[in-house]
Structure formats: structure tokens, C-alpha cells
């Protein structure tokens, strides 16, 4: 009897292990890495422009690497190698979800083709990229008036801007400063320089370069750039704080001089019309005219006197 009981217990144990194994496998199979890319996704770009394509990935338990590849001859997949003009970027949106970007900087004509992303055994739908060499048909337009000048003082805040209209896809806008009149140096974001993008339409918006408590060495000529296009020059003039004080003093003195001149012009004619002012403040009125007798009356009196004598 004991051998039979042992055999029965062994069989039951094996059955339980198999049941739990199958259940675990079924639970694992229920959760797969999900990649969200719309069918028939197409991106159009022109040679020299920047382009970003993306796929959103949801993981089951742990975040895994996302790889990109390109289909050659319609079937063969070739891994996309990162180089000077192709980069990848990962932006998490949740602890088990995020978006992978494939970034083309100054895209080339041979970058045209069909791309897919892959992770955790799952693969996305096709993403078709069409690169045209005729850039004159549609170019990124940057609107900045010629001879634009901003004037400010040290310690103040300043915002300069450029409005950008894109052809197909919104692309990054970069700012740079001209050194020695020709060399362009990228403007690095730091504690007092920031950038901001405000869309006004699905293919248009305004990029802002923001100076917080601007410094004297921020003076110079700036330009913005996007999609192979470049803006006109934007000149920034930063004056020292003492210039503000002296300009205020000059304005006050000028106003005082103007007021004194106006008062002098207004008072002088009135003083001249009121007679001569003597020392001591008394005024001497002019002598009244003496009454004049007619000549005929004098001669008449004289004749009468002679007759009496």
C-alpha cells in the first residue's frame, strides 16, 4: 500500500507543477510589448532639412531597448547605425511606456525608404520616408524684419523672437550668435538664457530667445535657423547701468534749461512795458505835459498892455 501511496503523491505533485507552469506561461503570453505606429505612415522631407520619426512602446514588466532598422529590397532589414546625422532619443511617458525617436539631422536623399522600430520581440508597422532633392518647391520660411534692433540695460529681461513656417513637419529651431561678423556660435542654454516655442498653427509658430537679467557681454548679432533656412540679423545692444543714470541727468538738465528759456522769453516784454525801475524799487512816472497856450492869446495881452501905457 505504501508504494502505491508514494506513487500517487508523486503523480499529483507532477500534475500540480505542470498546471502552475502552464498557467505561468499563459500569463506571460498574455502580456506582450506593444508598439503603436499607424499603418501607412508617411513622412516627406527635403534634402538638408531635419526630420524626426517616432514609435510609442508599452512594455510588460521592464523597459527594454528599442532598435530601428530599414527595409532593403522590401524584405531585408538593415539596422540603422547612429552617425553624424542620425541619432536616436528615448522619452518616457510612464514607468512602462515611452516614445523612441529616430532623428535625421540635415537629411540626405539616400535616407529615403521604409523604416520600422523593434523591441521585446514586437515590431512596428512600416514608416515610409520620402526625401525630395528639389528644395525650391517648399522651404522653411523664417520671418524677421531687416535691421531689427533691441536696446536694453544690464540686469533687465529681454525676449527676441522669430516666426517660422514649415512645409510638412515642425522641426527644431536653433539660435546662434555671430562672432567677428561671420563665425556663428551656437547659443547655449544656461541659467539666464532660455528658449521657448509657441505654436500658432500646426505648421507655424514663434521661437523666443529669452535673456533673464541680461549681461553686457550678451550684446551682439543673433540669428535663428531651422530646416536649412536662416533669419536676418537681430542686433542686441546692452547698455551699462550707469548709462541709465547719466541719461536721466541729461534729460532733467535739458528740460530745466528749456523751461528757463521759455520763462525768460515770456517775462522780458512785460518788464519793458512798465517804465524805468529805479534803485530801491520805486518807479519814476514820466512828467505830465505842460499846458500850452495858444500864441494868439499871448500877443493879445501884450497889445493891451501897450495901449494902457
Same domain, 38 and 73: yes
Residue 261: helix, strand or coil by DSSP?
Answer: helix
The last residue of one of the domains, among 101, 132, 163, is: 132
User: Which domain does 176 fall in, by range?
Assistant: 141-241
Residue 298 within any structural domain of the chain: no
- The mean-pLDDT minimum among 27-41, 104-118, 119-133 falls in 27-41
The CATH number of the domain holding residue 91 is 2.60.40.10
Residue 54 within any structural domain of the chain: yes
The last residue of one of the domains, among 132, 156, 175, is: 132
Residue 196: helix, strand or coil by DSSP?
Answer: strand
Task: Give the HSE-up count for residue 260: Cα atoms under 13 Å, Cβ half-sphere.
Answer: 6
| 237 contacts 219 by C-beta, under 8 angstroms | yes
The last residue of one of the domains, among 241, 268, 297, is: 241
Same domain, 127 and 145: no
Q: Name the DSSP letter for residue 60.
A: S
Residue 193 within any structural domain of the chain: yes
Residue 183 within any structural domain of the chain: yes
Query: Does residue 270 have a pLDDT over 90?
Result: no
Same domain, 117 and 169: no
What confidence category does residue 95 fall into, taking pLDDT thresholds of 50, 70 and 90?
A: confident
Give the integer Cα–Cα distance in Å for 298 and 277.
40
- 21 phi and psi, to 5 degrees? -65, -45
pLDDT tens, 162-204?
999 998 788 899 999 998 877 778 888 788 999 999 999 888 9
Residue 237 within any structural domain of the chain: yes
Residue 249 within any structural domain of the chain: no
Same domain, 96 and 176: no
pLDDT tens, 5-59?
666 666 666 765 564 554 545 444 568 899 999 999 999 988 888 899 999 999 9
Share of the chain above pLDDT 90, in %: 47
The counts of H helices and E strands in the chain are: 3, 20
Torsion angle, alpha carbons of 296, 302, 307, 309, to 10: 170
Grid cell of 205 as nine digits:
509658430
Tell me if the pTM is above 0.85. no
- Whose cell is 508617411? That residue is 42
* Structural domains of the chain, count: 2
| Nearest CA among 40, 59, 31, 70 for reference residue 119 | 59
Amino acid at each position: 500500500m505504501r508504494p502505491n501511496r508514494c506513487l500517487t503523491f508523486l503523480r499529483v505533485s507532477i500534475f500540480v507543477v505542470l498546471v502552475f507552469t502552464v498557467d505561468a506561461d499563459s500569463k506571460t503570453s498574455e502580456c506582450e510589448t506593444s508598439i503603436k505606429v499607424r499603418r501607412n505612415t508617411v513622412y516627406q522631407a527635403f534634402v538638408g532639412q531635419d526630420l524626426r520619426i517616432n514609435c510609442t512602446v508599452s512594455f510588460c514588466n521592464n523597459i527594454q531597448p528599442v532598435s530601428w532598422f530599414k527595409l532593403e529590397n522590401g524584405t531585408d532589414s538593415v539596422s540603422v547605425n547612429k552617425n553624424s546625422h542620425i541619432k536616436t532619443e528615448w522619452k518616457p511617458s510612464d514607468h512602462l511606456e515611452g516614445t523612441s525617436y529616430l532623428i535625421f539631422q540635415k537629411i540626405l536623399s539616400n535616407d529615403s525608404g521604409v523604416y520600422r522600430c523593434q523591441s521585446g520581440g514586437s515590431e512596428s508597422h512600416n514608416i515610409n520616408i520620402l526625401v525630395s532633392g528639389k528644395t525650391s518647391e517648399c522651404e522653411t520660411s523664417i520671418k524677421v524684419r531687416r535691421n531689427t534692433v533691441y536696446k536694453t540695460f544690464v540686469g533687465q529681461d529681454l525676449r527676441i523672437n522669430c516666426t517660422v513656417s514649415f512645409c510638412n513637419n515642425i522641426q527644431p529651431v536653433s539660435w546662434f550668435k555671430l562672432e567677428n561678423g561671420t563665425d556663428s556660435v551656437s547659443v547655449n542654454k544656461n541659467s539666464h538664457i532660455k528658449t521657448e516655442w509657441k505654436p500658432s498653427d500646426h505648421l507655424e509658430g514663434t521661437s523666443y530667445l529669452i535673456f533673464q537679467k541680461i549681461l553686457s557681454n550678451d550684446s551682439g548679432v543673433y540669428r535663428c535657423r531651422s530646416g536649412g533656412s536662416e533669419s536676418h540679423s537681430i542686433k542686441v545692444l546692452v547698455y551699462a547701468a550707469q548709462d541709465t543714470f547719466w541719461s536721466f541727468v541729461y534729460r532733467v538738465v535739458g528740460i530745466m534749461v528749456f523751461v528757463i528759456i521759455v520763462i525768460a522769453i515770456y517775462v522780458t516784454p512785460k518788464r519793458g512795458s512798465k517804465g524805468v525801475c529805479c534803485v530801491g524799487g520805486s518807479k519814476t512816472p514820466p512828467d505830465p505835459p505842460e499846458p500850452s497856450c495858444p500864441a494868439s492869446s499871448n500877443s493879445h495881452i501884450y497889445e493891451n498892455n501897450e495901449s494902457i501905457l
